[in-house]
Structure 1
Amino acid sequence: MGRKRVRLRRPRGAAEFLSAAVVALAALVLAVRMAAAAVGALKDGWPFLLILVLLAGAVGAWRIARTVRGRRRDAVRRAALRITLAEFDAMDDRQFEYALRDLLVRDGWSARRVGGSGDQASDVISDHTQRGRIVVQAKHTRVGGKVGSSVMYAVKGTAGPAHRADHAVVVTNGAFTRDAMAWGERHSVHWVDRDRLRRWAQDGTALHELLGLSARARRARFKRAA
């Protein structure tokens, strides 16, 4: 059985009205006294409260300034970022992917590393306000290694349907087979070999300038090819 709801009834008779008025008056007096006590406490303790407010403001301003300085340092560092071929050769696969991400950030792209299990032929995804989205497949190899056409096929197959990309690029610190380069040229999959990587990472040429990436020109072609 549920509990019975308690209903308040209106006072009846002069005695009940008088009792209700006394209770209401007592509650009002208590509220006024509590308000007065609060005002008194504020008057007595305002210097302490002011110090707390000023201290909190100073801490907040310091944190904001530290964040701004950190972002400026990062921007300067990235703008001056240069990576040599020897440094690339000494990296492992994961470090290579992060290095490519940092280079894209240097070039003005909003980049993130996504490589790993189930990456669908994409290790770095980058967005640009004018040039759209670029998908980068990183192929770190030992010196003298070559990337074949199968990598191009995989990137072409997922760039549009899986990643909604405008541009697809395969980057290696090694080389590409002739068939891979020819297939990439025919099907709009850009390639960056050791020489192009040097021009991008070491000489400072932006990737979109190096490859001549247009503004949002390839997405429909990727989708039709899927």
Structure 2
Amino acid sequence: MTRRRPVRRRSRRPGRRQQQRDVQLLAFAVVTAAGIGLVVMVVNWLLAHWWVLVVVLVLAGLAGAGWLYSRRQSARWEAVRAQGLRYGLPQLDALHHTRFEDAIRDLMQRDGCRDARRVGGRGDLGADVKATDPYGRRWVIQCKHRRNGAQGSPVGTPDLQVLNGTARQVHGADVAVIVTNGRVTGPAVTFAKQQRLHVVDRQTLAVWASGSRPLWELLRAVPPPRRPTSLS
């Protein structure tokens, strides 16, 4: 009988995936070693040239101080601008209705309502500007801009009915106001008095926008302050 020759087993070569992993590990090790070496070199250089680090820290401190000073100056100039804010009726008449709402918001901020913001737009439910005065009272303002000023269509009772239906119930207003650069009908004024709404017509708006008195000093029967302040 003839003997069978022993079968030689072929050695398995590493697959492509294993080779790729080995290459990636090698590359990672090289990059890590290079990074550590670079960090060590930088640290040693800084230790030998410590004065460079001191200069960098001083410059960074000066830059930070300059940035803070610039911010404070900007805030001061903004406060001065707000305190001196004035509008004439011709300016207000020429505004787009959204810019008119912005102007009313700015006037409320001038009067000390730091959180005054414009909220007018679709689905505003009768509120164009909201603000909290220094006495803690919540103001909800509806703006009615008339491009033709006193010659435009007057604000009527239906406009006030919308404000009356949402200002307190929906927006939680203490003071509900409608502001217009136009006219207001007699029945609308009567309805406002009955429902404890406040009307800022063209004449009142002219005094408020061109002067320096806050709006609550120009309106009658404004609710008492919610909290005592340094102004009271």
Q: Smaller-chain TM-score range?
A: 0.7 to 0.9
Equivalent residue in structure 2 for 1:163, among 171, 174, 180: 171
* Structure 2 CA distance for aligned equivalents of residues 37 and 66 of structure 1: 38
Aligned partner of 1:112 in structure 2 is 117
**TM-score, normalised via structure 2 length:** 0.73
- 1:203 is matched by which residue type in structure 2? G
Greater Rg by CA: 2
- 2:180 is matched by which residue type in structure 1? T
Alignment size in residue pairs:
185
Shift of 1:197: 0.3
- In structure 2, relative to structure 1, the CA distance for the partners of 1:38 and 1:91 (3 Å cut) is closer
- 1:215 is matched by which residue type in structure 2? P
Could you list the structure 1 runs, at least 4 aligned residues long, displaced by more than 2 angstroms after superposition: 36-43, 142-145
* Structure 2 CA distance for aligned equivalents of residues 52 and 65 of structure 1: 20
Shift of 1:51: 1.7
Aligned partner of 2:13 in structure 1 is none
Shift of 1:46: 2.0
Aligned partner of 2:106 in structure 1 is 102
- Bigger proportion of residues as helix: 1
* Residues 27-53 of structure 1 deviation map (CA, whole Å, 9 limit, x = unaligned): xxxxxxxxx988755422321221221
* Structure 2 CA distance for aligned equivalents of residues 211 and 176 of structure 1: 16
Shift of 1:147: 0.2
CA RMSD of aligned residues (A): 2.3
Counterpart mapping for 1:28-177 below 5 A: 40-110=44-114, 111-141=116-146, 142=148, 143-144=150-151, 145-177=153-185
User: Does the 8 Å CA contact 2:112/2:134 hold for their aligned counterparts?
Assistant: no
Shift of 1:119: 1.0
Mapped pair 1:190 → 2:198: yes
User: Does the 8 Å CA contact 2:46/2:52 hold for their aligned counterparts?
Assistant: no
User: Does the 8 Å CA contact 1:137/1:169 hold for their aligned counterparts?
Assistant: yes
* Structure 2 CA distance for aligned equivalents of residues 48 and 120 of structure 1: 62
- 2:106 is matched by which residue type in structure 1? D
> Which SS does the other structure have where 1:146 is aligned?
coil
User: Does the 8 Å CA contact 1:166/1:216 hold for their aligned counterparts?
Assistant: no
* Structure 2 CA distance for aligned equivalents of residues 37 and 131 of structure 1: 61
> Which SS does the other structure have where 1:115 is aligned?
coil
- Bigger proportion of residues as strand: 1
Shift of 1:113: 0.8
* Structure 2 CA distance for aligned equivalents of residues 158 and 210 of structure 1: 24
Aligned partner of 2:21 in structure 1 is none
User: Does the 8 Å CA contact 2:118/2:130 hold for their aligned counterparts?
Assistant: yes
* Structure 1 CA distance for aligned equivalents of residues 72 and 172 of structure 2: 33
Shift of 1:137: 0.4
For structure 1, the residue ranges without an aligned partner over 5 or more in a row are 1-35, 218-226
Shift of 1:164: 1.6
